[in-house]
Structure 1
Amino acid sequence: MSVVGLDRIAMAQERLSGRVRHTPLIVSNNLSARCGFPIYLKLESHQPTGSFKLRGATNAVLSLNDEAKKRGLVTASTGNHGRALAHAAKAEGARAVICMSALVPANKVDAVKALGAEVRIVGRSQDDAQEEVERLVREEGLTAIPPFDHADVIAGQGTIGLEIAEARPETELVLVPLSGGGLAAGVAAAIKGRLPQARVIGISMERGAAMNESLRAGKPVQVEELETLADSLGGGIGLENRYTFAMCRDLLDDVVLLSEEEIAGGIRHAFRTEGEIVEGAGAVGIAALLAKKIDVRGPTVVLVSGRNIGEARHRQIVDTDSVAISAGARGR
């Protein structure tokens, strides 16, 4: 198995110093009272680009040699990773091309363009966008920075786990959103390396959770991508997955799936009670606690991964106690 270990994550932490935000780790009095143990929120939603993705993308870009950066950078994205790579490329003076499908909402596309990146709209799926990435690598020599299955991306995300371990060494449980596995793998590697007593649970949605289905099958499998409030958790993990499948298989203690109404409840609670605007994928840890799907045995950290939800969509959810599920802003 290809593994990203503590040494590589510690190197990423040094590399990222001063480049990304050391995000707040705050206590939730409400959730703590509900669960009977201290519950902390790790607010990656406070990163400049609105999600944890800035860590992995920046670490990957800084790990490149000058020639690779000079050729230009390219990725397939449905939102957050593309925005993060555009930010990291701009900081290094490098060209960035972000390939996205026609399903990506205009506000996400505009946010990437605002950072000076080129946007290619291709097809109607992440797979279509990835085909354009491969063409640009093959024909124009651009350097690809994948959204999750990349050692430097995983190491960058793992720095969140180091921050948690340093701030709260008494932590017994970490809840982490689970999609392609870059975040879950990196955080789990850091937490298990520094806090061997702690459990790490991946949280995903019932609709189209590719990593969960792959773990159940014992190998990477294709899963139909469905509309979900946790849109940033959509998409496949890649049948040729090199890192994240094996790391999630070996390091996660469990995976919990949520209904759409439960995810909406997490978004609502984050805003109404915690005062935080959080997208569906970022709210899944909170949602899992509210739904009583987690066995809390001690101090727990909930990773709030991002805030990039459309204003109208967010208002629709928080202003009602029921929500009709439709496509939202995606986020890889």
Structure 2
Amino acid sequence: MPQSEHGVTLASIYAARKRIAGQVTRTPLIRSVALSERFSAEVFLKLETCQPTGAFKLRGATNMIATLIERHGRDALAAGVTTASTGNHGRAVAYAASRLGVPATICLSTLVPANKVAAIEALGATVKRVGNSQDQAFEEVARLVAEASMTLIPPFDDPLIAAGQGTIGVELLEDQPDLDRVFVGLSGGGLLGGIGAALKGIHSRIQVTGISLSKGAAMWESLQAGHPVEVEEVESLGDSLGGGIGLDNRCTFALVREVMDDHFQVSEAAIAQAMVAMLADEKLLVEGAAAVGLAALEEHAIDIRGQKVALIVSGNGVSLETFDQARAIAQR
């Protein structure tokens, strides 16, 4: 599929890398002794948990805001940027905007706990509490864009967002040029699409494996259908991998279809067991979406013997309460 259909190129990823340098952490790639021994392979962990906001989302948000400043000047963003997110993306937009000197408004429903509101406000953003659902919060975002001239920073479906996430792929190959395979969580497609575009652009032989939830996997269902479709969102330990991709998806559907080589779906039990193993063996407390690479290896008995493999550990946005739930599931 031509790159023009999604707008993400290796050149745009390298441009993003230069643009976000100094604003975003170049995260470590560590060899896991335990996993390497368990799977008779060289298994590496890419620790996006080391970002200041605890997740990879900071890369894309920083790249998009910085690019808009470059192209249109800071005055074009005088009204501010906006989005609706209770998790990694909202924190990333708040942090990136603050670092780049741009006002940010994050729209949250009234159901969002006070501690999450305070965490986003602590990063310098204005929080607007609107409605009783995420959909109603997004309605307020649309109003701010239309009536207050704010600029939307989307969570995944934009070439600038995907290029920012793609800088992870460049770092992977700088640290381990002879990687054979990379396991990436698949949701809206910005992370997998960006990383895949970087890896394929540098070494096309590298296998890109996507992992989705067993239920509510919008991108995977859309790929099976041949066009974006809606799916019912379900509660999951890997909640960051839930949600739709947008029926009017203009970037990541085409990008993922181009760069992903294979795909696995993982159960709640497998995610829970992987979360517990990451803490026990790697001393890493991670969210469910960050553990799906290990979950897939275990649940599907994927043969990686003799290979060099990287797992993208995408974020640490998990509460102790949720981790306790995972531990209880893993012990059943």
Secondary structure of 2:282's partner? coil
Q: Matched residues in 2 for 1:237 and 1:273: separation?
A: 34
Query: Are the counterparts in 1 of residues 269 and 329 from structure 2 also a CA contact under 8 Å?
Result: no
Matched, 1:292 2:300: yes
Deviations 1:123-170 (A, max 9, x none): 454433222211110011101110101111111100000000111111
State the match for 1:74 in structure 2: 82
One-letter amino acid matched to 2:62: T
Equivalenced residues, count = 323
Matched, 1:54 2:63: no
Query: Are the counterparts in 2 of residues 40 and 301 from structure 1 also a CA contact under 8 Å?
Result: yes
Query: Are the counterparts in 2 of residues 68 and 143 from structure 1 also a CA contact under 8 Å?
Result: no
Query: Are the counterparts in 2 of residues 272 and 318 from structure 1 also a CA contact under 8 Å?
Result: no
Query: Are the counterparts in 1 of residues 44 and 309 from structure 2 also a CA contact under 8 Å?
Result: yes
Query: Are the counterparts in 1 of residues 237 and 322 from structure 2 also a CA contact under 8 Å?
Result: no
Unaligned runs of 5+ in 1: 324-332
Identity among equivalent pairs (%): 51
Deviations 1:27-56 (A, max 9, x none): 111111121110100000111100000101
State the match for 1:109 in structure 2: 117
State the match for 1:196 in structure 2: 204
Q: Matched residues in 2 for 1:144 and 1:209: separation?
A: 25
State the match for 1:322 in structure 2: 331
Cα 1:260–1:103 shift into 2, 3 Å: farther
Q: Matched residues in 2 for 1:124 and 1:207: separation?
A: 24
TM-score, length basis structure 2 = 0.93
Shift of 1:103: 5.2
State the match for 1:156 in structure 2: 164
Q: Matched residues in 2 for 1:317 and 1:153: separation?
A: 30
Query: Are the counterparts in 1 of residues 23 and 99 from structure 2 also a CA contact under 8 Å?
Result: no
Q: Matched residues in 1 for 2:301 and 2:135: separation?
A: 32
Q: Matched residues in 1 for 2:169 and 2:54: separation?
A: 18
State the match for 2:285 in structure 1: 277
Shift of 1:21: 0.8
Q: Matched residues in 2 for 1:239 and 1:24: separation?
A: 36
Deviations 1:158-188 (A, max 9, x none): 0000000111111010001111011011000
Query: Are the counterparts in 2 of residues 113 and 119 from structure 1 also a CA contact under 8 Å?
Result: yes
Query: Are the counterparts in 1 of residues 294 and 311 from structure 2 also a CA contact under 8 Å?
Result: yes
Q: Matched residues in 2 for 1:34 and 1:203: separation?
A: 20
State the match for 2:319 in structure 1: 310
Matched, 1:253 2:261: yes
One-letter amino acid matched to 1:275: K
State the match for 2:276 in structure 1: 268
Query: Are the counterparts in 2 of residues 79 and 104 from structure 1 also a CA contact under 8 Å?
Result: no
Query: Are the counterparts in 2 of residues 126 and 235 from structure 1 also a CA contact under 8 Å?
Result: no
State the match for 2:136 in structure 1: 128
Query: Are the counterparts in 2 of residues 107 and 310 from structure 1 also a CA contact under 8 Å?
Result: no
Q: Matched residues in 2 for 1:124 and 1:288: separation?
A: 35
Matched, 1:10 2:18: no
State the match for 1:30 in structure 2: 34
Q: Matched residues in 1 for 2:232 and 2:113: separation?
A: 20
One-letter amino acid matched to 1:199: Q
One-letter amino acid matched to 2:264: V
Q: Matched residues in 2 for 1:250 and 1:166: separation?
A: 23
Query: Are the counterparts in 2 of residues 256 and 293 from structure 1 also a CA contact under 8 Å?
Result: no
Deviations 1:78-135 (A, max 9, x none): 3100000000111122211112345544433321111121223334544332222111
State the match for 1:231 in structure 2: 239
TM-score, length basis structure 1 = 0.93
Shift of 1:319: 6.8
